[in-house]
Amino acid sequence: MTYPSASPRLSPQQRQRLGHVAVLYQPPSLPVMPLAGDIVRFGLIADPQYADAEPDLTHDLYYRHSLHKLSTAISQLNPLPLDFVVSLGDLVDRHWASYDALLPRYEALRHPHVAILGNHDAAVISDQLAAHQPALGLPKNYYQFHFAGYRFIVIDGNDISLYCNAGNGDDHQQARERLNELIARQQPQAQNWNGSVGQAQFAWLEHQLQQARAQRETVIVFGHYPLAPLQQHMLWNGEALTGLLCRYQVRAYFAGHDHRGGYIRIDNTDFITLKGMLDSADRTPFAVAELVDGLLTISGYGGEISRVLRPGASEAPERL
């Protein structure tokens, strides 16, 4: 079986239909060497979820504030010696027109950008592609890139989800069957706004981890949906992904989606969930991660938690 280094690129028809939005969902173009010698640094943003909509005061969600918050975060990240910046999904909340307001903010970002496809993004993009005749399927947005002895992997939790449309073949039906099975088992992640990694992507991911082990690369994985602990925002098959990542001793997994944020260490792998930028009228959470000799330091801004995560399972993380 042949395993591509990245998921299939957007088709010419998908690219045309998505227009200027298509550039967000491509692998980043990185410099040959890190900016700070042996240190790799990257920024982390989760769930701006912009919409031109009134705030949801019950849940403390301020959709219009996200444009200013995102500009604030980018202005603070730009002067830092970062190798790239990762947006962990849900750039928009609803409406295709939301991208028109959001993209100029990202155009101001001076660092290479990795954009994860969140569930809200997937819903908006899928609707845009489904309106084409015949329907164009939701892209599979998973890939990997190498940098400074690390293998960075982006997974797509919308692979098998209710966001798939008629252009995705039977993926939507598979998603309905998976969700119904979880509901029958009364699992907390049995929510229609979650999704899962499909069989082909799972096999691709394991192949990437095998290659990384053979090449002695440290692995960092990014996704929109948390994999652990078990809770209602978790990927439908998060437990299977958690087992896979721990089996290959992935250094860390970063996610968004659960706006409360969170952290858990399982075996030698740290699972970090970033707080949602959308939440609250004035807080602007984001972070900078630094990797050096296995030590992972997360510097939080705007209410995001700072942590020092040392390799090995014997030590509890230090909160700064």
Predicted pLDDT of residue 38:
83
Q: Could you tell me the pLDDT band of residue 212, with boundaries at 50, 70 and 90?
A: very high
- The owner of tokens 């609707």 is 127
Distance between CA 308 and CA 108 in Å, rounded?
30
- What are the tens digits of pLDDT across the range 71-123? 999 999 999 999 999 999 999 999 999 999 999 999 999 999 999 999 999 99
pLDDT at 184 over 80: yes
Both structure tokens of 76: 């603070």
Residues 128-143: pLDDT tens digits? Answer: 999 999 999 999 999 9
DSSP state of 209: H
pLDDT at residue 35 tops 90: no
Q: How far is CA 117 from CA 21, 123, 195, 219, 222, in A?
A: 12, 10, 12, 20, 11
Q: Are 41 and 83 in contact (CB under 8 A)?
A: yes
How does strand 40-45 pair with strand 286-292?
Answer: antiparallel
Helical segments of 81-237, H only: 98-107, 119-130, 171-184, 199-214
Neighbouring C-beta atoms of residue 134, cutoff 10 Å: 9
Find the radius of gyration of the CA atoms of the chain.
Answer: 18
Does residue 31 sit within a domain? Answer: no
Do the domain assignments include residue 264? yes
Mode of pairing for the β-strands spanning 262-266 and 269-273: antiparallel
Element (H, E) at 71: helix 65-77
Whether 240 maps to a domain, the answer reads yes
pLDDT for residue 9 is more than 80: no
pLDDT band at 1 (very low <50, low <70, confident <90, very high): very low
**How many domains in the chain?**
1
How confident is the model at residue 119, as a pLDDT?
A: 98
The mean pLDDT value of the chain amounts to 93
* DSSP string across 237-300: THHHHHHHHHHTT-SEEEE-SSTT-EEEEETTEEEEEPPPTTBSSS---EEEEEEETTEEEEEE
- Rounded Cα distance between 193 and 4, Å, is 28
Tell me, what's the pLDDT at 320? 62
Query: 194: number of CA atoms within 13 Å, CB side?
Result: 26
Query: How confident is the model over 223-253, as pLDDT tens digits?
Result: 999 999 999 999 999 999 999 999 999 999 9
Residue 202 lies in a domain: yes
pLDDT given at position 3: 38
Residue 2 belongs to a domain: no
Residue 103 lies in a domain: yes
**pLDDT score of 4:** 42
- Report the range of poorest mean pLDDT among 3-12, 156-165, 220-229, 257-266: 3-12
Expressed as residue numbers, the domain containing 165 is 12-25+36-319
* 319 pLDDT above the threshold of 70: no
For residue 2, pLDDT beyond 60? no
Provide the percentage of residues in the chain whose pLDDT is more than 70: 94
Kindly state whether residue 99 falls inside one of the protein's structural domains: yes
pLDDT tens per residue, range 136-168: 999 999 999 999 999 999 999 999 999 999 999
CATH number at residue 314: 3.60.21.10
Whether residue 30 is contained in a domain is answered as no
